[in-house]
Amino acid sequence: MRIYLMTDLEGVAGVMDRQNYVLFDSRYYELSKELLTEEVNAAIEGFFEAGAGYILVADGHGYGGINQLLLDPRVELIRGFPDPWPFGLDASFDAIAWVGQHAKASTPYAHIPHTGSHHVIDCTINGISVGEFGQLAMCAASLGVRAIFGSGDEAFTKEAKALIKGIETVSVKRGLTPGTGEECTFEEYKDRNTAAIHLHPKKARELIREGARKALIKFKENKEAFQLLDIKPPYKMITRYRPAGGKRGFTEVKEHPDDIIKMLNSKGIIL
């Protein structure tokens, strides 16, 4: 049983905000990496307990989020990809999971939500609003790989369950900021959604371990319990960007007749 585990930093318990925890020069950046890596280790433990044979951990945070010295030595780590999408995922994997995932841009009551960057207002693929999770889940589905587990903030878990029927999720914190913030510029939005209530990191890890174990047991018993997204070609992706640096916002459009991964890796048209 081969598991691909995508990771990010903003959806981790104890990662409090963008300025102090998420950027490469943030004063608590190394602490954030430790917190993420321990959540990843908890998921790894749960998956191995449930019978996983191989786990590939993908470091999906822009500046890097995994402390490799703390990472469970039973797994392999991928960082750096020939093509950005799908970040080293291929059809040899049985299932895909996420740890530390945040909600998509403009999500109410989310903590540090964004899609790729805080410049984005919203992104749709064939009319479905998606964030980083949804984009990769669609790539996985096109390869026949089912999404089985995700942990992050509460808004992300709701987003995941709405997109993938049957997915197991664990919420490690919940955002407190109402509204979408769609009216905001990049400068206004990047630090807008910082209020949240966090679980203690040890409690978060306990829940993640059990959630991952439960997800893989369920998958082994009946993989059909996890929806395999069926997004039909042709593919069209529309991304709306916020005003930034005094410049107006804009829209980017990408299209491909039959391959969602090639579409994601293509250069868009700016409107």
pLDDT digits (tens, 9 = 90+) for 46-91: 999 999 999 999 999 999 999 999 999 999 999 998 889 999 999 9
Share of the chain above pLDDT 90, in %: 99
pLDDT (tens digit, 9 = 90+) per residue, 198-246? 999 999 999 999 999 999 999 999 999 999 999 999 999 999 999 999 9
Which amino acid type is present at position 9?
L
The two structure tokens encoding residue 194: 């910082």
Amino acid 86 reads P
5 pLDDT band (50/70/90 cuts)? very high
Note the pLDDT of residue 134: 98
- Residues 241-262 pLDDT 10s: 999 999 999 999 999 999 999 9
CA distance 197 to 23: 21
Beta-strand runs (E) in the chain: 2-7, 54-59, 76-78, 95-101, 120-125, 128-129, 146-153, 168-175, 196-198, 235-241, 251-256, 269-270
Task: Indicate the average pLDDT of the chain.
Answer: 97
pTM: 0.97
Question: Distance of CA 148 to CAs 12, 20, 166, 213, Å?
Answer: 18, 31, 8, 11
Q: Residue 1 pLDDT > 90, yes or no?
A: yes
Domains of the chain: 2-117+129-230 (3.40.50.10780)
DSSP letters along 78-93, please?
E---SSTTTTT--TT-
* The pLDDT of residue 82: 83
Q: What is the pLDDT of residue 113?
A: 98
